[in-house]
Amino acid sequence: MNMNWNQLADQSLAGECLSQDSALAVLRAPDTAILEQLAAAYRVRQHYWGNRVRLHYLLNAQSGLCPEDCHYCSQSKISSAEIEKYPLMATDKILAAADRAHQLKAGTFCMVISGRSPSESVFNRVLEAIQTVKTNYDLKICACLGLLSKEQVDRLAAVGVDRVNHNLNTSEDYHSQICSTHTFDHRTETVQHIKAAGITTCSGGILGMGESDQDVIDLALSLRQLGVTSVPVNFLIPIPGTPFAGLQTLTPRHCLRMLCLFRFLLPSQEIRIAGGREVHLRSLQPLGLYAANSIFVGDYLTTPGQAAHQDWEMIRDAGFVLEAPDGSPLAANNIAIPV
């Protein structure tokens, strides 16, 4: 199928949804087409986001001890991965992490806890920690706390949480292959609670878990239908001790094709290259920024990221600029690269 990638960019900019055939063509294009695809995706990205790159900082504030059986996760009850396990961090440690986020010029501080849903005591401590961070730093707060009720989301809104993350992870059809302790509907319900509370919705997925091309498309379409604002795109890190430890299905070029697809289907959304970018994009990481406009700086939940100075150098060398917390571009030449 001979595709005109610029025509897909035109459709995306016009608010039109790609046809199934066009979406499949993006994912199944030959490697020789990747630069043309990225150029077309960049037209859409540049229209909404210019040349700016947003930085997010992730804190694993409570690790392990999760009763769910998500097959990709080193913190699940069925994982034997050797990870550090601990209850909710003390507020002073959370504040220290927020300070690091501030130093790295991250606009959003993402606070994550493991588990299906927080207990009342843990939830109250999370609320207190969020208020402390908001008092001390000019950071947007994204809370990722598992499945949430409407009442819990309303309480997060009341203390000033800017966004709540809850990933769909995969397509509705494939969800039963990655988890049996909760359903796809449980996840979409939480996202709908977030949207109803007027908080920015953050939801994405994990690619490379054995899903089909159609599942990748269906995930992006579900996010489009939900009207999600921020979309983290993770690439599976096959962690030893998890059921998906042996999965090795991704190549750097295919990761780039999937990022292009997400940009075409989610034109105005913040698309963040999240966990696994260093593992799967490798030397092609800078090319991912032609479709995506955001990255995590620092480490992930139980896996390390590359050094912050490498992220900053990558952004500068590719001709992009950092985005300040208020959305304006930072004068990159006047900022010292962090250690």
Active centre residues (catalytic): 66, 70, 73, 110, 142, 202, 272
**Total residue length of the chain:** 339
Residue 152 DSSP label: H
Burial of 287 (0-12, 13-18, 19+ CB in 10 A): buried
Contact 229, 163 (CB under 8 A): yes
Cβ contact 270:142 at 8 Å: no
Rounded CA-CA distance 53/107 in Å is 10
CA angle 234, 238, 240 (to 5 degrees): 140
Which amino acid, 136? N
**Helix H or strand E encompassing 277:** helix 277-280
Q: What is the CA radius of gyration of the chain?
A: 19
What does the alpha-carbon distance between residue 243 and residue 240 come to, in Å, rounded to a whole number? 8
**Tokens 């927080």, residue located:** 118
Query: Is 325 exposed, middle or buried (CB count within 10 Å of its CB: 0-12, 13-18, 19+)?
Result: middle
Give Cβ neighbours of residue 336 (< 8 Å, ≥ 6 apart): none
Exposure of 299 in the CB half-sphere (CA atoms within 13 A): 10
**β-pair partners for 142:** 110, 163
